Structure 1
Amino acid sequence: MTFRTRRPLASAAGALALLIVAAACSSSDDPASETGDSVAAGGDLTVAGPIPIENLDPHGPASMDAGTQLAARAIFSQLVVSTGSGEFEGELAESWEPNADASEWTFTLREGVEFSDGTPVTAADVVASFERVLAGEGPLAGNFGGYTVAAPDESTVVFTSAAPDAAFLGKISSFFVTPQAAAEAGFFQEPIGSGPFVVESFEPGATLRLTPNAGYWDGEPALDSLEFQSIPEVAARMTALQTGEVDVTWSMPDDQIAALKSDSDLTVETVPSPGVLTMWMNGSTPALQDPAVRRALWQAVDFEAIIASLYPETGTPADSPISPAVLGYAPQEPVEYDPEAAKAALDAAGFDYGTVIRWQFSQANFRNFVDAVVSDLADIGVTVEPQEKEQAVFLEDLLALNWDMNLQQLGSQGYDAATNLGRLYTCEANRMGYCNEDLDRILAEAGSTSDTAQREELYAQAIEIIWNDGVGMYPMFVEQPYAWRSGVEGFEPVSDGVPYFDEVTVSGD
């Protein structure tokens, strides 16, 4: 079907995430630094962002966490990479082909690819990795219900579904291949991968230090080292960027962007993103079981004013749970701010105003947004208790439904609604305590047809149900801001917030 020779650094507009990005400064003991000459390549790149890397296992419960995805792209390899809606390039896969109804996908692996310990990457490793995803029942497994995988020979892998799955490429773009030994205890403390970098040291939630993989199939990176640091506090991260301790970051608050743009040592760029600021409401919480209550809470918040105040550079009021960049996007009638009508609807539904709604989030840059929403809801007598959690706790509680409202930025991996709606909103997924059998039927049909126009129509039906049932509040489409210091070369912002670093170099005086 398609193949690639070099990973693109800039993907087309649209895809998921939040994260961390790159930074650099020339090494003080480099001979070229002593003479004042420019360093053409190499150097130490430091990366910092709002989401810490807590886990390196791309198959486990944190597989879809932005920090884990960021680390995985540096350490491991994907079969295919998504570059836009319906657009893919091969990484480990040299080519792929579906059968007539897209229920079977056959991949041919690139020859000569090795893990960093020198062992070859074979179809057996792909099979073991995929089976580990399924057995782990993590977030990624929800994309592959009913799938089996086989390796007819060392370079061929066949994925088979019980039903047609035209969205398979978008789903598999979140999948990384690890050695068969990944099932052994302790493997992910010092993992072996086939990506551009190898792990030198890892302190969960703090620092991940990497060095180049000399045997990387696409050419050894020029960097001397790559370090990811966790700096969740916005003020500390901005200070680190401006002082040169960190040379690139992203997800900066809008009120910081103008000041960063005025700094001649920085490049600031904002790119479209598939991210949607999403506030799920837990349908299993007694006070939130009634769709009329959920819609009333949505109606009580002046999101347009909040966005205009807090996100003038990066926010646009949303009219769908998924971004316009994603296949399946369908605009809905905006929920108009009307606190009086919201209060009347809550009264009519018998809402208990003594209820305290627990609202969990994990990123410091959401604090002002959370405060604004809490204030608007308080104006109609609804009490919300913000709960800012460490990322690991946030993820654990998210899956356990230990919350009443949940705030996060959600994207659609592979630019396909199947990896968002089809993965998260089914009764089986049970990600927000909501179950609608009609929605399940529509999502299953949308995921099983290869007719793009039919898929778009079915996702439009699904979005209408999700929107009208108030499964969550969907305030804002998000653009992704990046900033990096002079001296970082070859870095390109990506729309999904999960960049690659194998073509980045560092220069300086």
Structure 2
Amino acid sequence: MTKFTKMGKCSQVIIVCIAGFGISASHADEIRLQTQSDFGQLDPAFWQSSADQTIIDAIFPKLIEFKSGSNWEWELSAAETIEQIDPLTINFTLKKGLMWTGDYGEVTAEDVEYSFERYIDKDLAAPNSGDWAPLKDVEVVDKYSGVIHFNEPFAPVWWSTLPYTGGAIISKAATEAIGGTFSTEPGATAGPYKIEKWDQGQQTVLVAHEGWNGEKPAYDRVILVPINDAKSAEVAFEAGQIDVSGVAVSSVPEMKANMPVDSILEVRPTAGYFWLGLNAENPSLQDVRVRQAITKAVDVDAIIEGAYFGIPERSTGLVAPGLIGYSEEQQPNRDIEGARKLLAEAGISSLDLELELQNSTDEQTTGLIIQANLAEIGINVQLNTHESGTFWSLGDEKGVGMQMTLKAFTSPPDPAWSTQWFLEGQAGIWNWEWFKSEEYEKLHYAAISETDFGKRAEIYHEMQDIMDASHSFVWLIHPPASLIYKDSINPGLLPNGDYKLHAFAPAE
């Protein structure tokens, strides 16, 4: 069975539209889109947020890229040709004439070599190094051609590395000139768009890059407006301030019933996951019985009804429906008496804990439900709400001092990209549960080198069982992507609702 048929369940899209006489927020040659946050890290080896990813994908070229639409498929981009010769070897040839901004000339195979090999540079210590974990090296054949060599087979390379953010190509000369890394100011870019202006916290203006040798983007200017709370973004959309916006899942029923004029609403399934994480290294949560009591006490069904109006289904684990390794085995039902018994066995009659979460309406509702749930077993929960940028810096600021966190991670259509964040080396970086398991580590690397779909699925089932046995994860939902846009727009969206900016175009 091919990956395309395996992904069939994830390709369903719900669309609602209504006609009328609205006025777009943009001029004919520009489009304004909401992002959940401002960007903060444009180095592909260090990116953190969906806002980072959106801009990286627009300003840096890739050999291949995902197609927009409802099915996960990739297409050639900066590559003229690309071919996997054997499980350890991929040959590629770049298109000629793709130019860097500034005076850095053409994109070359040497840039590809530099971009990919950075991930395995131990001195760089890239947090996203797992994107290229089995890479041996990139051999430069000539100015435009090269060979990617692996130490072992790498099953996710076509699904979560080359067409995803790990496949972004940066300028060797420009990056070395600024010290080998960057955050918000890359030395040069060569994607379909380039950054014209950044008003931090207000907007990012992208304009078409004249050195791009692919299909010219339909819009000359793209303006990204950071609005963290989806409810606030909905208001901005209805006021005509933006053309494309995320929608809170809880808003979908009301919006379907009372659609803004000249608008289209889409609800797409994603491979992302939203969960309550419990830090096993924090002194208050080191006793597994305490963590297990919390997992038993949280009423996931109440969260789905109260925060999400019953729209998404309850998650069964890390891996989303439609992906290799998805488990149909349901998580246990709430067991309040069992939770109390475990706390009694641990000698705890009262406990104070803190829950870190973002300030979106849906997450705050989720936090309040968890707070009420845990109060029933004698655990007092303080809710600490944060803006998106502040929240994702908590790993550095609080470290092991974090106790409970509500988090949502996005994912491309391969589970390896998700399982890598819970390796021991990610503790305190992305692994805020400080989850550690030697067996999990072995299975992660076995899975990425396994090319048999059935065997890979079995490995991911086992890995999820190990995560569940740690009682550090309360799986909630795989959040659907809910978006609304003007009907004058043909949206450039990946199957999971992520923006592909250069694929946006006026509707025909």
TM class by shorter chain equals 0.7 to 0.9
- CA pair 112-402 structure 1, distance change in 2 beyond 3 A: farther
1:363 Cα shift? 4.2
In structure 2, the residue matched to 1:115 is 100
Q: Does 1:343 align with 2:340?
A: yes
Q: Does 1:179 align with 2:176?
A: no
Structure 1: how far apart are the matches of 2:133 and 2:424?
A: 13
Structure 2: how far apart are the matches of 1:187 and 1:338?
A: 46
Aligned residues: 471
- CA pair 346-158 structure 1, distance change in 2 beyond 3 A: farther
- Counterparts of 1:95-494 in structure 2 under 5 Å? 95-100=81-86, 102-117=87-102, 119-135=105-121, 136-145=124-133, 147-150=135-138, 151-172=140-161, 173-175=164-166, 176-180=168-172, 181-185=174-178, 188-189=184-185, 192-255=188-251, 257-259=253-255, 261-312=258-309, 314-351=311-348, 353-361=350-358, 363-398=360-395, 400-413=399-412, 415-421=413-419, 423-430=420-427, 431=431, 432-487=433-488, 489-494=489-494
Larger deviation: 80-89 or 461-470?
80-89
Please list the CA deviations of residues 280-317 of structure 1 after superposition, one character each: whole Å capped at 9, or x if unmatched.
Answer: 22121122234433232111111112202321364211
Pairing partner for 1:90 from 76, 86, 100: 76
The one-letter code sitting in structure 1 at the alignment partner of 2:200 is: P
Question: Counterpart of 1:334 in 2: which secondary structure?
Answer: coil
The one-letter code sitting in structure 1 at the alignment partner of 2:170 is: T
- CA pair 263-362 structure 1, distance change in 2 beyond 3 A: closer
Structure 2: how far apart are the matches of 1:24 and 1:58?
A: 33
- Gaps in structure 2 of 5+ consecutive residues: 1-6, 12-22
Question: Counterpart of 1:157 in 2: which secondary structure?
Answer: strand
In structure 1, the residue matched to 2:32 is 46
Pairing partner for 2:51 from 48, 57, 67: 67
Question: Counterpart of 2:44 in 1: which secondary structure?
Answer: coil
1:82 Cα shift? 4.2
In structure 2, the residue matched to 1:6 is none
The one-letter code sitting in structure 1 at the alignment partner of 2:408 is: Q
In structure 1, the residue matched to 2:25 is 25
- CA pair 386-187 structure 1, distance change in 2 beyond 3 A: closer
Structure 2: how far apart are the matches of 1:359 and 1:114?
A: 44
Please list the CA deviations of residues 198-243 of structure 1 after superposition, one character each: whole Å capped at 9, or x if unmatched.
Answer: 1111133331111112332222223231111112234432221001
- CA pair 416-505 structure 1, distance change in 2 beyond 3 A: closer
Structure 1: how far apart are the matches of 2:66 and 2:220?
A: 28
1:190 Cα shift? 6.1
The one-letter code sitting in structure 2 at the alignment partner of 1:406 is: T
Structure 2: how far apart are the matches of 1:263 and 1:86?
A: 30
TM-score by length of 2: 0.84
1:116 Cα shift? 4.0
Please list the CA deviations of residues 370-417 of structure 1 after superposition, one character each: whole Å capped at 9, or x if unmatched.
Answer: 11111111121112222222333322323645522222222332x111
- CA pair 146-334 structure 1, distance change in 2 beyond 3 A: closer
RCO comparison, higher one (Cα < 8 Å, 6+): 1
Structure 1: how far apart are the matches of 2:271 and 2:177?
A: 36
Asked whether the equivalents of residues 64 and 139 of structure 1 are also in contact (C-alpha less than 8 Å), the reply is no
1:365 Cα shift? 4.0
Question: Counterpart of 1:367 in 2: which secondary structure?
Answer: helix
Asked whether the equivalents of residues 119 and 131 of structure 2 are also in contact (C-alpha less than 8 Å), the reply is no
Larger deviation: 331-340 or 400-409?
400-409
Asked whether the equivalents of residues 322 and 411 of structure 1 are also in contact (C-alpha less than 8 Å), the reply is no
- CA pair 290-107 structure 1, distance change in 2 beyond 3 A: farther
- Gaps in structure 1 of 5+ consecutive residues: 1-10, 16-22, 28-41
Asked whether the equivalents of residues 321 and 463 of structure 1 are also in contact (C-alpha less than 8 Å), the reply is yes
Asked whether the equivalents of residues 51 and 363 of structure 1 are also in contact (C-alpha less than 8 Å), the reply is no
Please list the CA deviations of residues 408-453 of structure 1 after superposition, one character each: whole Å capped at 9, or x if unmatched.
Answer: 222332x1111111x1122233223111111112222112222222
TM-score by length of 1: 0.84
Q: Does 1:78 align with 2:69?
A: no
- CA pair 203-157 structure 1, distance change in 2 beyond 3 A: farther
1:146 Cα shift? 5.2
Structure 2: how far apart are the matches of 1:85 and 1:417?
A: 17
Structure 1: how far apart are the matches of 2:352 and 2:85?
A: 53
Structure 2: how far apart are the matches of 1:76 and 1:408?
A: 28
- CA pair 364-108 structure 1, distance change in 2 beyond 3 A: farther
1:141 Cα shift? 1.0
Larger deviation: 183-192 or 279-288?
183-192
Structure 2: how far apart are the matches of 1:85 and 1:332?
A: 26
In structure 2, the residue matched to 1:4 is none
The one-letter code sitting in structure 2 at the alignment partner of 1:371 is: L
Asked whether the equivalents of residues 122 and 155 of structure 1 are also in contact (C-alpha less than 8 Å), the reply is yes
